[in-house]
Structure formats: structure tokens, C-alpha cells
Amino acid sequence: MRYLPLAFDVKDRPCLIVGGGSIATRKARLLNKAGARISVVSPEIAHELQQLVTDSKGEWFKGVYSAERLQQAELVVAASDDTKVNALVSSDAQAKRLPVNVVDAPELCTFTFPAIVERGDLSIGISSGGAAPVLARRIRAQLEALLSPGVASLVDLAARVRLRVKTELPEARRKNFWEWVFAGPVASRMESGQLADAERELLNALHDWQGRPSPVGEVYLVGGGPGDPDLLTFRALRLMQQADVVLYDRLVSPEVLELVRRDAERIYVGKRKAFHSVPQGNINQLLVDLATQGKKVLRLKGGDPFIFGRGGEEIDKLAEAGIPFQVVPGITAASGCASYAGIPLTHRDHAQSVRFITGHLKEGSLDLPWEELASPGQTLVFYMGLTGLQTICTELALHGLPEDTPVALIEKGTTRAQRVIVGSLTTLPALAEEKAVRAPTLTIIGGVVSLHEKLNWYHS
């Protein structure tokens, strides 16, 4: 994201437009809607633009641009038909640290005009940073079709009673109250034009909500999948947008985390080898404490929370404390990474079963049923097996698995940084070191790995 979306208050503020033609007029219309005081510098001026300047109590400076015209401006738009003049305006404005927009020249802008969906005081800006304005307008048209004109009246009502709601309801209850207002009978009455009835219903409900006991929060234990945000479930995404606070771990990709509600508090509780930012017991208690405060808490985990995710421990603590919770499964790393690497976990010719195994070293060793794991006709998937890779390969070979059994390491699977390194039980440990493979990495062992080269479809 190159441009930070902001809402700029220009009401009664001096804004300067350099240029007097049709493009300048379009920009002036937007500034006029926001109540700006518009001044124009140009040798000639279009009739509508002249009227906008007059209506806003601005001034037309007839003639060519000079830097002195910036003295009183708080925002500048360069919209002349002379590219050299536009570039000079940009340079002068930036030297004075004034926000400047140069039409059709995003490289000279410090801000751009988005495509705007407007419903009274509710405005939605869609910006491509000047790169694809036609696409931004198409998206605006789609949003226009979704929002009814009645939304503007609902915004006006919220503005009138916002301070009263803030005064009369505690913070833990306010968000739930407003969600009820915007999704319930108040919004329905506003949509049908029953404005007085809607306001009366809201105020009656506010009185009722004052007498309610403090709400108990809820915890959403959500699987964030292996990394690609397209693999999230609809339910996961919906709960991610509802949460007041999110506790997330190291395996949650930045792209997935980006989909969490923007104003939610974020708490990192990730773990990595030899370092736990927050002990598991503290995480369990933190979930209880936050929910007790009436908050909707999102516990976001990479993969699936019930497959090597310690999700069972966390909801056990919640159940003991009487905290409501939901569990949303996610695509586990074995399924997601194997799919994106073109490695089917089962295949009629290679494997009739699959086993998920933790490769995490405990006190420097792996205590696993090696003879069972070395049996033919199965696929082995090791989570957290990178540190113990040499031990895994050696033990499986010692217990009868052929040394040329194919093995794959999938680093950062399903993301744009995905790498797949393929070798055998004897060669893979050295390959992992040579290729500087880093966690998170999944290890897949078995005949199905031989299909990778033929079936590999994902190219990051």
C-alpha cells in the first residue's frame, strides 16, 4: 500500500487549484462538496468553475501560476494542461510541505482523489494510487448498487445520539449496542423512511441496555490455514471481522493477519525454537481474562487449531471458566502445503494411509515408534521436523525404510515465498543445509513425493 487512506477535513479551509478547465472543474466539485474555500490560478476559467469559486467565497487569480499563490493554501491541486507548470506546482508545494495532487501524474502527488461512494456523511474512497482509476470506478459502481440511500439517514441518527450512548453505556456494551442498531429494527425503520419511529426505538432500547448486566465475552478459536488467505473459511473471515482483540502466533501469515478487523487490538503470543514470547499457561489465562472483560477474543492460529496447535488445551481452560467459545477449523499445513507442492498425500500406487507426526525434539531426542513409521504403503508428514531432520531420516533408514525413499521439504508452503526441496532419506539433510531451509517447513516422506515434478502446479 503506497497511499495511506485518510479523511481530510477541508471545510472552510483554503484550497488552491492551478488550472481553469474541465479537469479543474471536476476537482473543484469534490472540494465544494466538502465545504472547502476554493481559489483558482489560471489565465481563463470555465463558467461552472467560476461559480464554484464564488459560492465557496474563494478567489480567481487571473494569470499564470507563481509560487506566491501557495502562501494561503492548505491543499493544492495542479490541473493545468501544461505538464511543466504542473511539475513546478508539485515541487513548490512539497517544498512547503503542502499536500498536492497532480492530475494524471501520480509520481508527482502526495495525495490522490479516490473514487468516492457517498451517502451523506458516510463516504467510501476507493483508490489505486493513480495506477488504475478505471478499475477504482468499476468497484465504486459495484458498491453504489449495494448501499441504499437510507444509509445516510442512519449515519445522521448515529451522529445525534452518539454522545448520549457514550455517556450512558459502558465501553464493553457500546459496540454490541451499535451492532444491534445497525443490523436490527432501527436500521429497518430508517430504510423505510420511518425516521421518528426509528429514533424512538433506539432511545427506548438504550434505556433497556442500561439495566442489562455486564456482558460476558466470547472466544473464537480460528484456524488461519497454512498462509494463503484464499484458503480461509467464510466463517473464519466473518469472526475475524467481529473480534475486539486478537491473539496470534508466529505461523499466521501477514496476509491473513491483514484481514483482521482494523481497529482490533493485536497481541503476539507466538513461539519459536528455544523462545516462547508468552508461556502457554499465560495464553490460556489471558483468553479467560479478556473474555471476562466482555470482549470478543479471536485466538488465531496457523493451520488447524486441533492439529499440533494446542487448541484443546486452550478451550479446556475456557470451558472450566464458563466462557463461551467457538472453534473454526482451518486447512492444516499437511493438506495445504502438499496440495500446493503437487504431492497427493494418498495415492493408489504409492500410499494407502497418511500419518501426521510431530518432529519436535524433546530434550534433544525424538521418541517415536520408528518400526511402525518405516512400514511401506504410507505417507509420513512431519510437523516441526526441520531441527530433527537428520535424526528422522537416519532412524527411518535404520528401521527398514529404503534409503532412496523420496522426501520433500516445503518451506513457507502456500505463500509467495514457497520453496520445495526434494531429495531422499540419505541426501535431504545435506540439501536442507545447503539450501539454508528455514522454518516454517513441512517434511513429507514417501512414494507420493515422486509425483511432485509431474504434478507441481503452483508457481509463486
Tens-digit pLDDT profile for residues 333-344: 999 999 999 999
Contact 387/453 with Cβ under 8 angstroms? Answer: no
- 218-331 is classed in which CATH architecture? 3-Layer(aba) Sandwich (3.40)
What is the predicted pLDDT for the residue at 359?
87
What is the predicted pLDDT for the residue at 7?
87
DSSP state of 279: -
What global pTM score does this model have? 0.71
Is 305 marked as binding a ligand?
Answer: no
Is 23 marked as binding a ligand?
Answer: yes
- 14-113 is classed in which CATH architecture? 3-Layer(aba) Sandwich (3.40)
| Positions of the chain with pLDDT under 70 | 214-215, 271-277, 361-364
From the list 60, 109, 111, 72, the residue with the least C-alpha distance to 87 is 109
Catalytic pick from 82, 175, 197, 271?
Answer: 271
Is 304 marked as binding a ligand?
Answer: yes
Is 190 marked as binding a ligand?
Answer: no
What is the predicted pLDDT for the residue at 297?
96
What is the predicted pLDDT for the residue at 362?
64
Is 307 marked as binding a ligand?
Answer: yes
Measured over the CA atoms of residue 374, residue 375, residue 376 and residue 382, the dihedral's sign is negative
pLDDT in tens, 21-32: 999 999 999 999
Cell numbers for 241:
471481522
Rounded to the nearest 5 percent, the helix, strand and coil shares of the chain are 40, 20, 40
Q: How far apart are CA 28 and CA 78, in angstroms?
A: 11
What is the predicted pLDDT for the residue at 188?
87
pLDDT in tens, 395-405: 999 999 999 99
Domains of the chain, by residue range, sit at 14-113, 150-210, 218-331, 335-455
Q: Do domains 14-113 and 218-331 have the same CATH topology?
A: no
Domain 335-455 in CATH 3.40.50.10190? The answer is: no
Rounding to the nearest 10 degrees, give the CA dihedral for residues 376, 378, 383, 384: 10
- 249 catalytic per annotation: yes
What is the predicted pLDDT for the residue at 272?
60
Catalytic pick from 92, 249, 295, 301?
Answer: 249
Cβ partners under 8 Å of residue 124, min gap 6:
116, 117, 118, 143
